[in-house]
Amino acid sequence: MAPVTLTTDNFEDVVSGGTFVIIDFWASWCGPCRMFAPVFERAADQHDDITFAKVDTEDQPELAKAFEVQSIPTLAIVREGTVIFQQAGALPEHVFEDLIRQAREVDMQQVRASAQ
């Protein structure tokens, strides 16, 4: 499934509606962002149980600020409304796939318990 374009208008619907969302913060002028885009899109095609979303930081600076994005590309993984991972930098495909595997294995009950 193609990545969703995430904006301030649809953020709540996408993030609260999806139990597992991976967000790519990017900009058109960013070389590493353009290099990572096909990796992100292939992963979106392979993992149809995950919502893949893209935030154009030039078009949506409020979202970039809310996530405290300081360099791009930045990936954020949100599960059940909680950010469980966020990191700047383009990832090679095998590393990104391993990150997705690890994010699937996160015990969300434990995450919620430790947040209290």
- Catalytic residue ranges: 30, 33
Taking alpha carbons only, the member of 30, 23, 29 closest to residue 7 is 23
How far is the C-alpha of 51 from the C-alpha of 22, rounded, in Å? 6
Structure tokens at 9: 């208008």
Q: Give bridge partners of residue 5 from the DSSP assignment.
A: 54
Which position has the token pair 């947040």?
115
